[in-house]
Amino acid sequence: MVDVLAERAAIDAAVSGKTICTLFADAVAKWGDQPALRWKNNGDWETLTWRGYRDQVAAVTLALRSLGFGAGQFGLIMARNVPEHVIADLGIVHAGGAAISVYNTLAPEQLEYVANHSQATVAFVEDEGFLRKFLAIQSSTPNLRHLVLVRGEAPEGVMTWADLLVQGRELAAADPKSFEQSWRAVGPEDTVSLIYTSGTTGPPKGVVYSHNNILWTLESVQRFWEIEPETLVSYLPLAHVAERFTSQFLEARPTMFVGVPRVWEKLMAGLRAGIAAEPDEAKRQMVQGALSASIAAYRLRREDKPVPAEVAAAVERAAPLFTLLRSKVGLDRCTTAITSTAPCRPEVHEFWAGLGMPLYEVWGMSELTGPATVVPMDDHQAPSIGKPMPGVEVRLGEDGELLVRGGNVMVGYYKEPGKTADIIDADGWVHSGDIGELGSNGQFKIVDRKKELIITSAGKNISPANLEALAKSSPIIGQAVAVGDGRNFISVLVVLDPQVAPAWAKARGIEASSMAGLAEHQLVVDEIRRALTEANAHLSRVEQFKRFTILPTEWSPESEELTPTMKLKRRVIHSKYQPQIEAMYATPPGGHAVDPERETG
């Protein structure tokens, strides 16, 4: 039995007195002239060494301090995954303040709320398009005194990134010790960042992280996964905790790829479509056969059953082929593949494991500084969210809710003591809102969200996430949302995949110029019906889909229906598509029947 309290004490001791600033200084001392950041500029790769990184952070730090920015203040950043984003972030932190990366998709009124709630005094914006959002709220955000434009022509009253660096470098040259004096004044319990949760309803809550939160969680992860520093791709929104933790705060930079389930689904769909489109039938069958054999071997190993020698040999021979397939999506060098933020379908796990790259699930939440449970590298299980990280306690509440306690627990919600008390109880346990199960293998599994369970008119509690995962068995289904709360049967809203569905249709001679046209085509309706019928075979009678509606639209992080990390905004969807939902329960019903014969029989 692992002594969690002893683990926690050891982690506490290991990070005592440290901050993000000391971590950054150690990295510069260790890796000085080695590459720290690489990015593409007009098609060419550019590199910034750790020492160059430090010099730019120092310039931003000193320039900010000369503007009156310092301890207790917040700085906003609205930018894509560009080097200036992380440089500005560290500059804010080394000046004694805390950074807030905001989603690029925020509307001006949402931006206004975050700026006023945090009383941010400075904002970094990447381009003129983002700048217009800030200029639109300038009169209603009195604390936001300084705007810095990274790229483009700055209007009067706005400072450019280049000018800020020039000013900071002059200050550094005049007083070479001033940068170190600034960051050494920063303490472990100081606020390092606010992350505003991308909630589905109501104003977002600002999750407060201390330097200690970040370093404690990092130390715990390092003790669980011994990963060597190499390369990490930054592509998820930097306003999200998953990306900020892995690409900004992780000292070791391994050859890993972190993807939300939808990313893994889309990459899988693309590879499958490519294999199916191979004109050489013999080659196509060879690839499909090798992949099927590898998936079969994975299933046997998962169930602790022996893999026949001939199957094992075939899978071993196909290893170069699987590497070639992964190279099609740039993952041939990936040694650590991670899925996070939402449950990943078993079919997706099987596909990537079959390609020799199993997905290791990480579970956590913004309120837990990101991760809390991790699947061990030497004990891959799927679907599973693994075991608690070192020093982290996880248990199930009376209703199955996952409860977590440890040094990764946030400081609290900014200016929201009541809401903080709602999620962190008097004993320090975070109430996650996720319903979990503990398997015989000692690993946890997420069953559903506590507040998202469908309760039918007969009183049956049903997990929409489980139903939706089964519904998406067809590659042309991009999103599926189960409905039926308070109803006498389950229906589903379906959105076609904007990349896969048109290619699928073209291969079958379907001429449709829009997603709306595809949604009405009989072959598409039949394919959705086939997928839902297949799903129903795995469901109890009360859980089975009876009707479906194919929506003539596309959903994306820029639309109302998905968060920036591609999670469903269920309440928004239920409200926006209420007419379509009501139609499926009307008399006569709208949409399509999954089993027309039974419905009319």
Same fold, 20-186 and 258-449: yes
The yes-or-no verdict on residue 416 having pLDDT over 90 is: yes
Q: Which two tokens stand for residue 564?
A: 């920036």
Q: Check residue 238 and give its pLDDT.
A: 52
The yes-or-no verdict on residue 221 having pLDDT over 60 is: yes
Selection from 267, 313, 278 nearest residue 293 by Cα? 313
**What residues contact 548, with CB distance under 8 A and at least 6 apart?**
491, 492, 493, 494, 528, 529, 532, 584, 591, 592, 594
Q: Check residue 239 and give its pLDDT.
A: 53
The more confident residue out of 104 and 133 is 133
pTM (2 decimals)?
Answer: 0.77
The more confident residue out of 393 and 346 is 393
CATH of segment(s) 454-600: 3.30.300.30
Q: Check residue 251 and give its pLDDT.
A: 34
Ordered by start, the domain boundaries in the chain are 20-186, 258-449, 454-600
Asked if residues 123 and 77 have their Cβ atoms less than 8 Å apart, the reply is: yes
- For the segment 497-553, what is each residue's pLDDT rounded down to a tens digit? 988 899 899 889 888 778 899 999 999 999 999 999 999 988 888 889 999 999 999
Mean pLDDT of the chain: 88
Q: What percent of the chain has pLDDT over 70?
A: 93
The yes-or-no verdict on residue 224 having pLDDT over 70 is: yes
- For the segment 235-288, what is each residue's pLDDT rounded down to a tens digit? 454 555 454 544 443 433 337 788 888 788 888 988 988 898 889 999 999 999
- The yes/no answer on whether domain 20-186 falls in CATH 3.40.630.10 is no
Q: Check residue 235 and give its pLDDT.
A: 44
Asked if residues 477 and 497 have their Cβ atoms less than 8 Å apart, the reply is: yes
Q: Check residue 480 and give its pLDDT.
A: 95
CATH of segment(s) 258-449: 3.40.50.12780
- Taking the C-alpha atoms of residue 59 and residue 61, their distance in angstroms, rounded to an integer, is 5
Q: Check residue 230 and give its pLDDT.
A: 53
* Mean pLDDT computed over 126-137: 95
Q: Check residue 439 and give its pLDDT.
A: 87
- Per-residue confidence band for 101, with pLDDT thresholds at 50, 70 and 90: very high
